[in-house]
Each structure stands twice: as structure tokens, then as C-alpha cells.
Amino acid sequence: MKLSFFRSLATTLVVLATSFSPVMMQASEASEVNVYSYRKPQLIDPMFEVFTEQTSIKVNSVFAKKGMLERLKSEGRNSPADLVFTVDIGRLSDIKDAGLTQPVDRVQVDGNIPAHYRDPEGHWFGLTTRARVIVASKDRVGPGEIGSYEDLADPKWQGRVCTRSGKHPYMVALTASMIAHHGEAEARKWLAGLKSNLARKPQGNDRAQVKAIKEGECDLAVINHYYMVKMLKDPEQVAWANAVNMVFPNQDGQGTHMNVSGMALTRHAPNKANAIKLMEFLASAQGQEMYVQKNGEYPVKAGVPLSALQNSWGSFKADSLSLAVVADHRAAAIRLADEVGYNN
């Protein structure tokens, strides 16, 4: 009598546990690809839908802002993830360094993506580039007053600059590129100078900085270019975008700092063939064009037509520094942000 209760309880618990298991739900190789993504679903789902239409391969994606790397590490060889999509170079290199990727060597991918936007060993690939631009208030900053990242540390901008957290991957990559170009000592001076020019404690995302310029809290901000595209499409935010001019920095020098959103094939990808097909699709002309049209990002593939808005900005000199080098300096960049107390 006593035991039967526990037997039934144990059975129930086991059934409960395994009923949630994806073992039941594993489909055959032919039908799906699993994606772990740092990119928000609304930014990449349109591409996946077209891919599914064309190839009948279903794309399952999970979006997480944090903790993806740890999850991949602990899932190990049983991880269902085939592809990892990231929003910047940092996570791509972190995943490769953790030994969670495998190299891909396909002409359709390599041929479409320039060498400085992909891993020399083929572990990760940039899919789109984003320029980190400076936006300046139309009312309070004259044309030509600001032209480079280095200028941001100039004391004349004291209390007039807004940025997001100095430890956010986009800012870290910028700092890392400063380290790569100028060395750590100079980069620390620059970062400290920028910090002392801040109008308020770093908060919010890039769009919030433009909003702050519109509201008069500051005059300069550093954002990724595609936010301008997005804000111009949003009825509430178009006013923010119209309050600023966009400047591609360092046109006379090393060029504007570029970051990439990218993809990597996981080491134990269960649906490897499907995943590579998806990679090829996204690197192809069609996939690249969708990125341009839907998100306003710059394509990595040469020859893809830009949007009207992007054409109106004109062409600009992009930093040709290899992103793998930028990735190498990220740890130092984060340390610098802590040392100058950037977020305090």
C-alpha cells in the first residue's frame, strides 16, 4: 500500500520529465535547421521565411540576449543548435575561442564574403556590416565640427556627448579598434576623455541617445547607422532622427569603424547540410539584398544594390582593419572601460 503510492508518483515524475524532452520532437535531417540567435527575431525571421519557401527547410530559432555561450558549452555535443547568429564580432570570436564552432569551406560562402569580414580559418562569417557613426544635433553642432572618433575626447565637447554603456559589445568593439590603431595607452586616454565629456551616465540603447539629442540633453552621440533607418520608419521616432545629422567618422584617416553581424556553424550541428544551405542563402545576392531592404544594414557581398536612403548618404571609407584583430583586443577594451569607470 505504501509502495504503490511512491511507484505511481515516480512514474508520473518520469513521464512528466521526458514528455518535455525534445527527443520526441527530433525530426529527420531533411526538414529543419536550429538557430541560436543574438539577433532579434523580427530582424532575421523574414529571411528565414523566404528560405523555407524556397527549400522547404524549417528554421527554428531561439533568441537570447544573454547566456547563449554558456548554454552552448554545457549542452556540448547534444546541443540542437546548428547555427549561431550574433550581432557583433565579439560573440563570434568568443564562440570560436570556446571551441564550439567548425570551419566551413564553401565557395558560395567564401566567395561572397570579403576576407576581412570573416575568420581566416573559416569558423565565422560576417553577414552584414554596420558602421558606427557619429550623430550631431542639427541645431547645436555646425557642419564639419566633428569628424573623427578621436575628436570626441576633445575638451570642447565637455558635457555634450551621450553614449550607451561602455561595456556594450558595440562600444567595446569601437574601443578595441582604437586600441588596434593607437595602442592601449592612447586608447585609455581617449576613453577617459570621452567619459569626461559625457552629459549623463551611460544608459539606454543607441536610439535612446538620439532621443536625448532631440530633447537637448546632449549634442553628440555614437550609434550604429541602421538605427537611423529604423527611426525614420517609426512614427514616434522619426522626430528624433530628423533632429540629427549623421557623420561617417575618420574619412581622412583609417576610415569608419565597422562591425559585423555574423553566423557560425556549431561544432556538433545535427543538421549540418541544412545549416550550410542556409548559410549559402544568406550570403547570396538574394539574402544580402533582404538584409539591405529589411534592416537597412550594409551587405558584405560586393555589388549588392543599396537602398535609396543609403545611396543618399553616399559612399564612405570603411576601416579595412580585419575584424579578427578587433576581436583580439576586446578583452583589453572591457578592462579599459572598467579602469576609467566609464559606466559610473
Partner 1 sequence: MASVISTGQGENPHEHLRRPRRALNWWTGGAILLAALAVMPVAAVLVFAFGDSGDIWTHLVKTSLFGYVKTTLWLMLGVGVSVLVTGVSTAWVVTMCRFPGRKVFEWLLLLPLAMPAYVIAYAYTDLLEFAGPVQGLLRTIFGWQTARDYFFPEIRSLGGAIMMMGLVLYPYVYLLARSAFLEQSVNVLEASRTLGRGPWRTFSSVSLPAARPAIAIGASLALMETLNDYGTVDFFAVYTMTAGLVDVWLGMGSLAGGAQIATTMLVFVVLLIMLERMSRRHQKLYQQAGSRYKPLPAYRLRGAKALAAVTACALPVLAGFVIPVAVLGRLTLIYFDRAWTPEFQVYVFNSVALSAAAAAIALTIALFVAYSRRLHGGKLLAFGTRVATLGYAVPGAVLAVGILVPFAAFDNAVDALLRQTLGISSGLLLSGTVGAVLFAYVVRFLAIAMGQVESSLEKVSPSMDMAARTLGYRAGQTLVRYHLPLIRGGMLTAAMIVFVDCMKELPATLLLRPFNFDTLATHVYEFASDEMLGEASLGSLTIVGVGLIPVVLLSRMVSRTRQTLGESAGQTQ
Contact residues toward partner 1 (CB under 8 A) are 1-2, 5-6, 16-18, 20-23, 26, 34, 40, 60-67, 69-71, 74-80, 94, 98, 165, 167, 200-205, 207-208, 211-212, 215-217, 236, 331, 334-335, 338-339, 341, 343-344
Cβ proximity to partner 1: between 76 and 183 the closer is 76
CB of 167 to partner 1, least distance (A): 5
Report whether 291 contacts 299 (CB < 8 A): yes
CB of 109 to partner 1, least distance (A): 25
CB of 23 to partner 1, least distance (A): 5
Give backbone dihedrals phi and psi of 208, rounded to 5 degrees, phi first.
-60, -30
CB of 147 to partner 1, least distance (A): 25
Burial 208-238 (b: 16+ CB within 10 A, else e): ebbbbbbeeebbbbbbbbbbbbbbeeeeebe
Cβ proximity to partner 1: between 10 and 115 the closer is 10
Cβ proximity to partner 1: between 305 and 341 the closer is 341
CB of 126 to partner 1, least distance (A): 20
CA angle 312, 322, 73 (to 5 degrees): 110
Cβ proximity to partner 1: between 234 and 320 the closer is 234
The residues, any chain, with a CB within 8 Å of residue 83's CB and separated by 6 or more, are: 33, 34, 35, 36, 263, 264, 265, 266, 269, 275, 278, 279
Helix axes of 206-214 and 226-233: crossing angle, nearest 10 degrees: 60
Cα of first residue to Cα of last residue in the chain, in angstroms, is 64
| Angstrom distance (rounded) from CA 212 to CA 199 | 10
Cβ proximity to partner 1: between 212 and 228 the closer is 212
Helix axes of 169-182 and 330-339: crossing angle, nearest 10 degrees: 100
The residues, any chain, with a CB within 8 Å of residue 242's CB and separated by 6 or more, are: 138, 232
What would you report as the CA-atom Rg of the chain, rounded to the nearest whole angstrom? 23
Report whether 233 contacts 120 (CB < 8 A): no
Report whether 146 contacts 152 (CB < 8 A): yes
List the grid coordinates of 125: 562569417
Cβ proximity to partner 1: between 115 and 238 the closer is 238
Cβ proximity to partner 1: between 21 and 315 the closer is 21
CB of 328 to partner 1, least distance (A): 14
What torsion do the CA atoms of 295, 223, 213, 165 make, to the nearest 10 degrees? 120
Cβ proximity to partner 1: between 65 and 105 the closer is 65
CB of 250 to partner 1, least distance (A): 26
CB of 94 to partner 1, least distance (A): 6
